[in-house]
Amino acid sequence: MIIKNHNNKLQIKPAYVNFITSFDIKSFNKQYNNHDIILVIDFDSNLIDVLDDWMIVLKKTNNFLIIVVDLIDEFLLKNKFFIFVPTLKESIDYIYIERINKDLGL
């Protein structure tokens, strides 16, 4: 697994997808309370329940979960709960824009 920490944004790239199901997001969030998470994975629809739990924990601390996937298909586009972007740069830009919108009260 690769974790990069830059400007309160953690980039997580697990070596295998099963890591996500065994990851304890609550303990992790206590240590990195003010961090947004950028998850770089080959998305698997079996992860939806686990990532739902991640979203609940992160929303309590006003943080984002952005999922970077190489190919965005119709299934991902229909999903209203998760944020999917095709590149790491777009994930960082998304967080930046959302923070500005929040500061402006939009």
Any idea what the CATH number is for the domain that residue 75 is in?
3.30.750
**Helix, strand or coil, per DSSP, at residue 34:** coil
In the chain, the number of structural domains is 1
Is 90 exceeded by the pLDDT of residue 96? yes
Residue 87: which domain range?
A: 2-104
Residue the block writes with tokens 């979960």: 65
**Mean pLDDT score, 39-59:** 83
Is 90 exceeded by the pLDDT of residue 93? yes
Q: What is the mean pLDDT of the chain?
A: 82
The closest alpha carbon to 85, from 57, 45, 43, belongs to 43
- Residue pair 61/33 in contact (Cβ under 8 Å)? The answer is yes
How confident is residue 2, by pLDDT bands cut at 50, 70 and 90? low
Q: Give me the pLDDT at residue 35, please.
A: 86
Residue 47 or 84, more confident:
84
